[in-house]
Amino acid sequence: MKTPEIATKQEALAARRAFLVEEKGFTRARDELARKRRELPWVRVDKRYEFQSSNGKETLGDLFAGRHQLIVQHFMFGPEWQEGCVGCSFNADHVDGAIPHIQARDATFVAISRAPLPKLQQFRQRMGWRFKWVSSLGSDFNYDFDVSFRNEDIATARAQYNYRPLDFEIEDLSGYSIFCKNRDGEIFHTYSTFARGDEMLMTAYMYIDLLPMGRNEGELPEPSSWWRHHDRYAGGAGDTGSDPSAKKNCC
């Protein structure tokens, strides 16, 4: 990390005011990007998808729970896995507190994975989450929305992830998809985001970006190498250790 200049309070205030101009520019650019996102074309969802939930079988339309908008977290959790993806869990840790606010804006949140429902319920209980989580096992849903992949589709370049051909073998990846249901019950897919597009929903990163050390991931094998399930950080149950770089003195 570059050592910052040590300044007087007046000098720091002048620099902060100058930086505020750039921050405001970023905020306006983000607002404009959000406006353009809302104007993207929609695609009608004609296929009937069924999911296993704590209420039994539910269709995609059922998951709206009487609202007109639906946020789906494509949570990586394959049928043979014993626990959910660490990165998807990082994202999911930010959801429960936001749900009442999301619902107040006529939207419902649900996580969807291919793992059997009992595995999802067991892991959900371990993590202490309350959001709705359903299983798409036996459904084409994950494949149709480009977050699960068959080997033959990868081999023939039919598999797509983040709007480009997937060029390595993997069963599941993460993302978010947004749907809208009109008064006639028609469902439309309005938007999906993948890979680093998920970061805008990682509130912890937004806090960490305010810190003098920032994300401090430059020396790690992968930027995400420090992630753990929240019950496995140092001092927690099932501790596997934390990122050593986080112990560096920022000053």
In the predicted structure, residue 238 carries a pLDDT above the cut 60: no
Q: What would the pLDDT profile of 58-88 be if each residue is shown by its tens digit?
A: 999 999 999 999 999 999 999 999 999 999 9
What percentage of the chain's residues is helix, strand, coil (to nearest 5)? Answer: 35, 20, 45
pLDDT for the residue numbered 167: 84
Neighbours of 28 (CB within 10 A): 10
Query: Beta 69-74 vs 43-44: how paired, if at all?
Result: unpaired
User: Residues 224-245: what's their mean pLDDT?
Assistant: 70
Q: What would the pLDDT profile of 99-146 be if each residue is shown by its tens digit?
A: 999 999 999 999 999 999 999 999 999 999 999 999 999 999 999 999
User: Residues 15-44: what's their mean pLDDT?
Assistant: 97
Beta strands across the sheet bearing 132-135: 43-44, 187-193, 175-181, 69-74, 107-113, 132-135, 50-53, 56-59
The per-residue pLDDT of the chain, averaged, comes to 92
Q: What would the pLDDT profile of 54-66 be if each residue is shown by its tens digit?
A: 999 999 999 999 9
Rg, C-alpha atoms of the chain: 21
pLDDT for the residue numbered 241: 43
Among 25-29, 51-55, 243-247, where is mean pLDDT lowest?
Answer: 243-247
pLDDT for the residue numbered 246: 41
Query: Beta 50-53 vs 56-59: how paired, if at all?
Result: antiparallel
CATH architecture for segment(s) 43-195: 3-Layer(aba) Sandwich (3.40)
Neighbours of 151 (CB within 10 A): 11
User: Residues 195-211: what's their mean pLDDT?
Assistant: 94
pLDDT for the residue numbered 236: 53
DSSP conformation letters of 228-248? --TTSSTTSTT-----GGGGS
pTM here is 0.90
